[in-house]
A and B are shown apart, each in its own frame.
Chain A
């Protein structure tokens, strides 16, 4: 029970922060995704069977396993995104270095 209350407080805090940020910026799409994520999380915290039912729907035995699999996929995707971002930064550094070397002339 205690874990449910603690998690709920944390999620509530996250949602409040999200809404505050929501009002300041234009990132509506990513903000909505996060809101959806937290709503699903709060449902999963209070109705643990919910995740198991979803897991069963896609052929996975336990809700916890579903969370683990989805997390692994998300983490890999994020690593890939970071790689691409890094490559962009590298190319920008090259542009700056090139400009500098040509300016000296």
Chain B
């Protein structure tokens, strides 16, 4: 079975080596999508003999994920995993996401930080940002989930062919979920570990996502 791991990166020279080092032990096909990094990210990835797709200018995480996914489908991937380059996720948990697709015929699995005790999640995120985002997410997608915008997910080939990310920025998480609903894909949430290194999306980021989603309705 061809399993492709898609890693969008932007100026990730400090973390990418460790992330790729961990991933390489598992024998998956790794595709890094460089989203116009200005640092040494591309050199590091290429020196590790990993395939890099290069965006000449920065287009956003959603755009990079779609580029990687399109490439993987073209190359005959059976399962496509979206993974972060900054070392937030654990390579050993990829199997938890792909097994339900492999053995139970599911279309897509979504990592959830809330089905597992995740230490170090900032309280502002845990008690304010995430609950509010969940409500907004449910309104936009009509699917109730325990987590929003966890970038760790796996798609079957069929799901990857149907889902098309048009939201270039951070709101692709919500967009993917609304497409799950639209195409009637079989999904499941899977508990994942997230290691908090940086705060990530704050309140301002949340508003940006909301703006992108609203605007997206009119394009």
Contact = CB atoms under 8 A, between A and B. Distances in A.
Interface of A: 80, 83-84, 87-88, 90-91, 93-94, 97-98, 100-102, 104-105
A91 B216 CA distance: 10
Given A91-B166, A91-B168, A98 B63 contact: yes
For the complex of A and B, 4 pairs with smallest distance between CB atoms: A94-B63, A101-B53, A98-B67, A94-B59
B56 A97 contact: yes
Contacts of B55: 97-98, 101
| Interface secondary structure of A, over-half rule | helix
B71 A97 contact: no
B89 to A, nearest CB: 23
A87 B215 contact: yes
A103 to B, nearest CB: 10
A84 B33 contact: no
A83 B219 CA distance: 9
A94 B53 contact: no
A105 B67 CA distance: 12
A80 B215 CA distance: 9
B158 to A, nearest CB: 21
A97 B215 contact: no
A105 B168 CA distance: 22
B183 interface: no
A56 to B, nearest CB: 35
A83 B212 CA distance: 11
Contacts of A105: 53, 71
A102 B216 CA distance: 25
